[in-house]
Chain A
Amino acid sequence: MLSLYVPGDTIVHRIPAGIKLLILVIGSMALFVISNIPVHVAELLIIAALFQVARLPWKDTLRQLRTALIFMVPIFLFHVFLTDWMLGLETVLRILVLLLLAVLVTLTTKVSDMMDVLERVVRPLKHLGVNPSKVSMMLSMVIRFIPMMMREAQEILEAQRARGLDRNAIALLMPLLIKTLKMADDLSESIEARGYDPEPVVPVWKRRG
């Protein structure tokens, strides 16, 4: 799922990232504690309303969710045959609510804002030698580079097909790996050149005094 931030200035966009993430965490846990189909349907409706309020493109969202939606069918059938259809419906509803809630948060929250929250959450791990700013930097770069890697993979596949090679995982993997390493090299130079200098983190057992 490659849902990226859709810019906007609606009330959903303006809710602080920390609160949105907190709702996501608590909501996803509550979802599995509550066992009541009407409540789940109501949640679904509320989320749909929020999508409307945030003026998000329904079509794109559904297209991104297509693969996940296809999985709902076997999950539902599994329950129909092995347990009962009510449980199946509930499971599917839970997953749907969870997915849509997660998509809603990612589409309306800037990555940098999410990273700031993450940095704050990870901060206590500083005492164990984990560098919070590096963790958040790493994650935001993952988000930045997934679309790029997919394009690179596409280019390699095309070049190989042009020379008569059909899909072949190993033949794709090697050049992609080499390209990725080169990209990582360039990227680290550019990050250094722009003065990235996270505070050093010393784990508690290496501190003196």
Chain B
Amino acid sequence: MSLPLAYAWSRPAARIQRIMFEISNVSQRFGERHVLKDISLRIGERRVGVIGANGSGKSTFVRLLNGLLIPDEGTVTVDGIDTRTDVKAVRRKVGFVFQNPDNQIVFPVVEEDLEFGLKNLKLSKQEIASRIDSILGKYKLEHLRQCAAHLLSGGEKQMLAISAVLVMEPSYVVFDEPMTLLDLRNKKLVLDTIHAIEQPIILVTHDLEHLEEFERVIVFEDGQVVADGAPDDAIRYYTQAMA
């Protein structure tokens, strides 16, 4: 499928108050595959959606944003910090929630898993305890505090994974298809949670209807940005291209 690139909308820079993520001329290859082709973007909105077919490069793209992946070519900066020079600082700023909650819960018991990130931040014991109390209260997970992680339901696991990221109080949060493996009820729960987060977020998803209230939607196709703008326009473009 070949798509005209002329569809790419350019967004007036004046509407961005502050540049949070700046991606300049980034290319990425995995062996023979050219996964990202010369991407340049500035992101400063509070709610940004990323969509695209499987294998379009969107997951690779978001992995650049917290230094999980350092680009082959080009630079990625977060609040002016280059992921290549200070990846630790970038990771402290950008929380990352993955698709499969099972593979991101590290410790056997809920409370221990929440502690993990906080210990990495080298916080004091009192601070760790108070942050865990408040996050468990906020997301109504208090009754699961001492539960074995492998006995939680799918929705509870994803809520734990999200809490474990939010408890670290990152400046931004990236979600990579956080609802793909969930049933309808839990999808709604996770979606409501994501909508309510104070921090600016970047959400990769296949559920287009979730992006209607977003400020900006970026469409990936074959390692390139083929549409970028208001949700209506971007989603219309994407659904037409997929048809």
Residues of A within 8 A of B (CB): 4-5, 7, 110-112, 140-141, 143-144, 147-148, 151, 183, 186-187, 189-197
Contact = CB atoms under 8 A, between A and B. Distances in A.
Contacts of B149: 144
Nearest first, the 4 A-B pairs at minimum CB distance are A7-B146, A186-B103, A190-B104, A195-B120
A147 B152 CA distance: 12
B83 interface: no
Contacts of A110: 109, 112
Contacts of B115: 112
B214 interface: no
B105 interface: yes
B120 A5 contact: no
A128 B49 CA distance: 49
A187 B165 CA distance: 14
24 contacts: A7-B146, A111-B107, A111-B108, A140-B107, A141-B107, A144-B107, A144-B108, A144-B149, A144-B150, A147-B150, A148-B150, A183-B103, A186-B103, A186-B104, A187-B106, A190-B104, A190-B106, A192-B68, A193-B96, A194-B106, A194-B164, A194-B168, A195-B120, A197-B120
Q: Which of B95, B96, B103, B146 has the most CB of A within 10 A?
A: B103
Nearest to A111: B108
A190 B178 CA distance: 13
A168 to B, nearest CB: 26
Given A144-B105, A148-B150, A187-B104, A195 B112 contact: no
Interface residues of B, number: 31
A111 B110 CA distance: 11
Contacts of B95: 193
B102 interface: yes
A194 B107 contact: no
A185 to B, nearest CB: 8
B159 to A, nearest CB: 15
Given A193-B68, A193-B91, A195-B88, A112 B104 contact: no
A192 B88 CA distance: 9
B98 A189 contact: yes
